[in-house]
Every structure is written in C-alpha cells, then in structure tokens.
Structure 1
Amino acid sequence: MVNPGQSNTYACGGGIISKRYVMTAGHCSFGDTFQVITGRIDVHGYHLTDLVNVNRVVKPTDYASLGFDYDDIAIFELAKDVEEVPDYIQYLDIGLNAPPVNQPLTIAGFGQLANAQDTSKAHFGTIHVSPDDQCHFSSYQPSKAFCSATAEVYSCPGDSGTPIVVKPAGATRWVSVGIDSYGHEGPCGNKEYDSIIAKVASMIDFIRDNTLLAPPNFVNLNFASNGAVTGSTAAPVAGHQDPHPDNCWTCPPGYVHWWEAGLSTYTDPCGCVAGVATTTSSPTTPTTTTSSPATPTTTSSSVSHPTNCWTCPAGYVHWWEAGLSSSSDPCGCVVQSATANCPSGWTKHNNYCYKLFTSTVSTYYDSRQACKNQGGNLASITSLELNNWVNSFVSTNCAEFWIGGSRSSNTEAFKWDDGNSFTFTNFDSNEPKSSNNFVSFIHGTQFGTVGKWRAITNLYKKPFLCERSPQ
C-alpha cells in the first residue's frame, strides 16, 4: 500500500480478499489517505493503472483503546473492483481455524532485509508457529495472536499487514491465517525474538460484518501433524453473507426478492424490489410456518398500496402501517412496530428515530460508522415530505450535514447507507458534480439552496444525521 498523505511512501503490506476489499494490520491505517498497488512484485515498478484508491478504512471499534495486541486488523474498502488476473492478482481465502504449534506458514512482503536495507521487491519465506510459553513479549495475547520464529526467516519493518498464508492440498487459492503485526524493537532480524502474528480466526465476525459489499471466501482448515493442510469451503453463516428467511412469499410480477437482485442487506427480511433475479439462493414459495403468508391484509390506509398483500412476519408491519408514505417493495414489511419508542435524545418521525450529531464533526465514513455504533445508519431521505421535515427539524446554526447517500464512483448510481437505491432525489442545481460521490444536506446559503443536497468528497468533516428503528 502507498500512503499519498506521506509523500507517496510505501507503508505496509496487505492481502486482497475479494474484488472490493484488502485486509491489513490495524496499525497500518493511521494516515490521511491511502492507495493500494495491485499485481506487482516490485513496488518501484508500478504504473498509475496499478493504483487503486481506498474509499473507507474500518478497524474494530475498541482498537484505539486496546491497541494492536488486540485484533490488529483493518479492512480497506476499495474505490473500484479489482478483478483476479492469472499470475498477477489472486484473492486470498479466509481461514476459520488457527494453525497449531510448529505449523509451517508462508510469508511474503516488501519489508526491510536483515541488514536494515530497504527493498522494493517482494521476498518469500517459511515461518513456524512457536509455543506460547516461548513468546518473548509481555503484552502477547494468545487468544488474539500467535508467535513465530525460525532460524532463517523473520518479519521486518515494512512487513506489517502482510498476510500469513497456507495453501491446502488441491486448492487454487492461498488461505490467510494471520496478519503480520509487530516484532522486537531493535535490529531487524534478531533471531532471539519472535514476531507477533494477528490471528485471523479470532476476527472472523469482524471480517464478515465489514465485507458485505463483496464477501470473501471462508475455508475450514485441517492441519496434520506433518504440516500438511486440507481445506473445505465453509457454508454461509446466519446473520452474514446474504442472510434471509427461507419461508418468504412469492414476489408480485416484475419484482424479485432483494437477495435475488444481488443486494447484501434490506430493511424488510422478505422484501421485494423491482427488477429481474440475478441469483437463486433460496425458495420463494410459502411454507406452513407461522411467519409465512397467511391471509391478505385488510388494513385500511389513505396511502395507495396493494390490497392483497400477505400478513407480515411476527415483529414486522407493512410500510403503510408504520406511517411511511412509500416503499420500493409494494408489499414491504418494516421491522419496527407502530408503538415503539425512540431512545433518549432521538426524535421520532414516520416511525423512525432521528438524531443530529453536531458536537463531533466527522468524515462521511466515520459518520456512517458512528451511526452504526448507535444501532442505525446515516439517514435515508426517501420522500419530499421527509426532506421538508428534516429541513425544519435541524437547527439553523447547522449549515451542512451528512446524510446517507453515496456512490462508489461517478459511473455508478447513488445508494443509501442501508443498501437501497435512490427513489427520490433533491440535488441542488448543477449537482451532483461528477468528481464527488458523498451526499450532504444543505442548510446554509453559503453551500447552496437550503433544503437541497450536494455531492462532496468524503474528507470534509461535517455534523451528521443518523436514523434508527424505535426500541
């Protein structure tokens, strides 16, 4: 990886785990902006076409307070897809099992050589897992990491973030079991000290939760006493990777279930969206369980909606029953009940809770993470009525704030933070500009027309509006 904020300096290594994500060490993510060099074994020989911008960096929420003895990992979300290229770019699979003591592992990196000499070329070698009681670091956490030492190979400055891998018998891909974290403070290559490797198997939930856009492949590993490794692809885990009920009703003509349309999440567990199916990942015929279609709804509403929708699953109500004015799914169900309350400090509107955070200004991605930490998302403004309410709800001394719209590039469509496409827009004149991909709400004339939106860069630090479901 290259850090343009530090004079295009080479910072750390990392592994491409899917077309949109790179996995590296958490302590490699301190800086202003980053780029990733792909498909090169010589960092001085790259072309501009090999550079990929980083849209977002995610670390565990407690990383700053606990330090890199705990979950030393970061996920870099790339600004564009990086496709596999034979002999040049190959995705790493993610190992679900930690390697045992004495297991041989492969390391490859661009770090310094033993004489502290910098090198631009990748070097490869084999390391072994050391027993915990032979680790020379007082802060070492065996549940989060493992030690490694050999007589010939060791990690050095510049190797941080480098994936530690194995290749199961018969497999075409390497599997990451560790991330190079840190070593002894002293001359590079001191063989009396181990290197600390962050244990990938202890961070699986974090990886799954932060790679929904393009999930990596997870592999169950078996380690033999002679060092041989076998592996099998793991089944999807409930709550991650395209989770959905298996007893949903059939969608109306012209609509498909959200997972069939290739979406990773949706507010309605059985929701339908306009379009044509691109995947076939689960039954669409009703079953006889209590949450499957029962009788058509007879709820009256002044809002136009189908009159033959099925009853929602327990804990869900139809969008019009929740007070919403529209939905991309004509029979859609939403999670909150009409009688639920908002947490203290939040304001309820149309059965959603809203809160404007002004005490801390943040970039778009930091704002989005802050909203997720509150159990919600950056706000989705899906109607003119909601837009006008937000404009009146926000105090006059807040000139501009983040809402949840963004796009991965100027050739892509905008989507809300919850994964839904825009069905309503309110951009100011001459907006959105082609070079900007993150949506803010204008509330001061110095930025444009009050009540309208504009697209700006992620790096601006602004107040932000979160939305969440009532409790």
Structure 2
Amino acid sequence: CKAPPELEPGFVAFSSRSNLTAYRAAIQYHCRHPYYHMAPNSTATYTCDASGVWRSEELGTKLPSCRPVCGRPARPLPGIIKRIIGGRNAEPGFFPWQALIVVEDMSRVPNDKWFGSGALLSDSWVLTAAHVLRSQRRDKTVIPVSKEHVTVYLALHDVRNKMEAVNRTVERIILHEEFDIQNYNHDIALVKLKEKVTMGNYVMPVCLPQFEHELEGPHPNMLGLVAGWGISNPNITVDEIISSGMRTLSDILQYVKLPVVLHAECKTSYESRSGNYSVTENMFCAGYYEGGKDTCLGDSGGAFVIQDPGTRRWVAQGLVSWGGPEECGSKQVYGVYTKVSNYVDWVEKKTGSSDRWTFLDPELER
C-alpha cells in the first residue's frame, strides 16, 4: 500500500513498529482528544488489502473526519450559587467560544469603529447578533457592513493583548433576512471566517440547542452565564457602547450568572414604559427584578449559555440583543436576548451543515 493519507486534525498510528505498509499491515486513525471527536464513531482501523488499498471493515476506503467537540471547556466553569454583583473576571479558557468582533468602517468620515461579541460554532463559523454587523446607514436599510472592515478575535482574555490572540478576517457575513431594526426581531447573524481555527484549551465552539428539551428554549428561573468585555460602566446602554467605539471595554473578560425571566413578566415590564418596545416570541429576558448592573454585562452578540444537566455541555440559548431605555441596571429593566432555539434550522441551512457541530459524547449515545 501507499503511505496512508493524513487525517486533519488527527494522526495515524501504525500497528507495527516499522511503519509497514505491506499486505495485511494495519493502521488506526485518531482525533486530537479532547478537542475533536471522530465522525462517524468507529475504531478507524484500516488494513492493507491484496489490491494495495487501505480498507476498514466499518468505513471501506472512506476516511473518518475529526469534528470539534463543543461546549466542554478544558477549565470547567465554576458552579456559582450566590449572585455575582457586577460581574467577575473570567479565567483564561472559561469561555473558549467567546469571540470579539471589531468593525472599522473606513468608508465613513470620520471612520466608524465599534465592537460586539460572538460565539464560535465550528472551525469556521461564528454566531452573533445582526445589529452588530449591520451597516450604520441613515436610511434604515438592513445591509451588512463590508466584510473587509471586520476582524474576529478568539482565545482573547485581556484586550490589551489583542496581538497575541487568534485573529481572522471574514469571508462572508449573513444577517437574518427578516431582521427588523425597529424592534430587533430576528437579531441574529453568522460570520464565516476566511481561515479555519484550530481547537485547543482556549478555542472551542459552543453547542447549539440539539436535544428536544434544549430546543424548547430556556425556562423561567434557569440560570445562564454571559461573558463580555463591554460594559465596565453600568450606566451605558448597548447602543451607546456600539457608538462609542472601544472606549468602554473592560480589559479582562468578565462574566455573570443571570436567571431567565418569565416571558409575560418581561413583556409587561417593557409595555409599561414609554416607547415602542416589543418583546417577541423570538426573544427572552434575563436579569433580576430589583435591577443591578450585572444585567448590563454582556456585549452585544455574545452568547447566553446554559449548561445541559444531562450532558454537562454548555449550550448557546441566547444572544445579547437589547435592553433599556432607562439606565442599565434599573429596577425591572431586563436584558433581552435573541432566542437561539428558534433559529437552529436557519443556522444549519445557511452554513450547509447539520451534524458538523452536533457533538454527542459516544458514551452518552450508548
């Protein structure tokens, strides 16, 4: 047989010491554990047959692939029982899916610069909010910013060390076709990276809702985590942050734990305010009745993640979308999130993938 083909990002091991490729020699493929898993789940053992071809009993001549494992940080997130007031510094590797999205619109005078967050979904796709990547036009049309003006940073902990982070330029931006800039309905977008990223302790995708109970969306009082660099000043709303450029960044990634609020309670709290606020079925709210600046912590487009109690993996159930109009942290001013479970089909359709990020632990499948 010829030398066996490579498997990226994995490796091949020979069963004989001398790396024999003779008739009946055997090889086995492995994925880089624990960051990748093999699909389909098989022993990936191949033998050199009489016709000089590497063949597997399970897969024939087809090679398996190594897919990124999602939602399993190498550094487990701490179980927080008590409330964190105003956020806490994250440790490196707590949120390996967290992306910083920086937009510099050079076509505007003066140059426009703003930022948001996103969540890594696979080795080449990032999920974020549509309003982060909408071109800031006066005519209210919904067109994405030019992809040349966007940089995505991963494995970033302290923004002062941006140069050391993994950074990628963008191949494509997809805003939801029905995104409404009046009420932020369908506030969801996808970014395709020009070059794939390699998974490790500090870069790992978050899981999309997959099981039936996850696809129902988050239930009231469930606790989720939100991370971000954005809001070190509790009196700044999301829109002000976007328009003020990078000045409000907290240097170190922060995170907070927030409870999901009953939909009716959130709707009522916004309907009682002046202004045309609409909490649709594509949104949910999180925060505390009495307010507190912790509700303001996440950056626009960042993921609200909930740990699945069965699989222990972290699932993106929300994206930071909007809040206000009072000072962030006022009583009964909840943060509003895009309900990701309503968009799983949309994501799969746009990325042309359904199983690329549906990682099930082989142990859980048995």
TM-score class normalised by the smaller sequence: 0.5 to 0.7
Structure 1 segment 39-438 matched on structure 2, within 5 A: 39-47=155-163, 50-63=166-179, 65=180, 67=182, 69-86=184-201, 88-95=202-209, 96-113=215-232, 114=234, 116=236, 118-135=249-266, 136-138=269-271, 139-150=277-288, 151-152=291-292, 154-156=294-296, 159-169=299-309, 171=311, 173-212=313-352, 216-218=356-358
Query: Cα 1:15–1:107, aligned 2, differ >3 Å: closer, same or farther?
Result: same
Q: Find the counterpart in structure 2 of residue 453 from structure 1.
A: none
Q: C-alpha distance in 1, partners of 2:355/2:104?
A: 27
Amino acid at match of 1:82: V
Alignment partners' CA distance in 2, 1:213 and 1:219: 13
The structure, 1 or 2, with the larger RCO (C-alpha pairs under 8 Å, 6+ apart) is 2
One-letter amino acid of the structure 2 residue matched with residue 98 of structure 1: G
The 1-side partners of 2:265 and 2:359 are apart by: 29
Q: TM-score, normalised by structure 1?
A: 0.43
Distance in 2 separating the partners of 1:40 and 1:49: 5
Aligned equivalent of 1:463 = none
Q: CA deviation at 1:155?
A: 4.2
Structure 1: runs of 5+ lacking an equivalent: 221-231, 234-471
Report the counterpart of residue 26 of structure 1 in structure 2: 130
Report the Cα offset of residue 152 of structure 1: 4.5
One-letter amino acid of the counterpart of residue 127, structure 2: M
Q: Secondary structure at the match of 2:328?
A: coil
Corresponding residue number in structure 2 for 1:16 = 120
The 3 A distance-change label for structure 1 pair 219 and 175 is farther
3-state SS of 1:137 partner? helix
Deviations 1:79-123 (A, max 9, x none): 01012111x111100012301111111111112122555412211
Deviation at 1:46, TM superposition (A): 1.2
Distance 1:39 1:142, change over 3 A: same
Q: 1:218 to 1:68 in 2, by over 3 A?
A: farther
Deviations 1:400-450 (A, max 9, x none): xxxxxxxxxxxxxxxxxxxxxxxxxxxxxxxxxxxxxxxxxxxxxxxxxxx
- CA distances 1:171-209 after superposition (whole Å, capped 9, x unpaired): 464210010100002423223311111100111111111
Q: Distance in 2 between matches of 1:78 and 1:47?
A: 18
Match in the other structure for 2:21: none
Contact persistence 1:106–1:127 (CA under 8 A)? yes
Aligned residue pairs, count: 220
In the alignment, which residue of structure 2 is the partner of 1:440? none
Q: Structure 2 vs 1, CA of residues 39 and 132 (structure 1 numbering), >3 Å: closer, same or farther? A: same
The residue number in structure 2 matching 1:2 is 102
- Give the match's secondary structure for 2:317: strand
Contact 2:183 2:278 in 1 (8 A): no
Per-residue deviation, 1:148: 1.3
8 Å Cα contact 1:93-1:216 kept in structure 2: no
SS at match of 1:209: helix
Q: Is the 8 A contact 2:170 2:194 kept in 1?
A: yes
- What CA deviation, in whole Å up to 9, does each residue of 1:5-33 have, x standing for no partner? 26694510110010010000010112332
For 1:62, give the aligned amino acid. E
- Deviation of 1:141 after TM superposition, in Å, equals 3.5
Asked if the contact 1:54–1:77 (Cα under 8 Å) also holds between the matched residues in 2, the reply is yes
Report SS of the residue matched to 1:4. strand
Partner of 1:368: none
Bigger radius of gyration among the two: 1
Identity %: 22
Contact 2:256 2:297 in 1 (8 A): no
Aligned mates of 1:126, 1:5 — CA distance in 2: 33
The alpha-carbon deviation at position 129 of structure 1 amounts to: 1.1
Q: What is the distance in 2 between the residues matched to 1:214 and 1:38?
A: 23
Shift of 1:147: 1.3
Name the SS for the 1:94 alignment partner: coil
What's the C-alpha RMSD, in Å, of the aligned pairs?
Answer: 2.7
Q: 1:124 to 1:57 in 2, by over 3 A?
A: same
Q: Work out whether residues 69 and 141 of structure 1, in 8 Å CA contact, stay in contact via their aligned partners in 2.
A: no
Compared with structure 1, are the counterparts of its residues 155 and 219 closer, same or farther at alpha carbon in structure 2 (3 Å cutoff)? farther
Secondary structure of 2:296's counterpart equals coil
Please give the alpha-carbon distance, in whole angstroms, between the structure 2 residues aligned to 1:158 and 1:41.
15
Moved more, 90-99 or 110-119: 110-119
In structure 2, give the amino acid aligned to 1:137.
Answer: Y
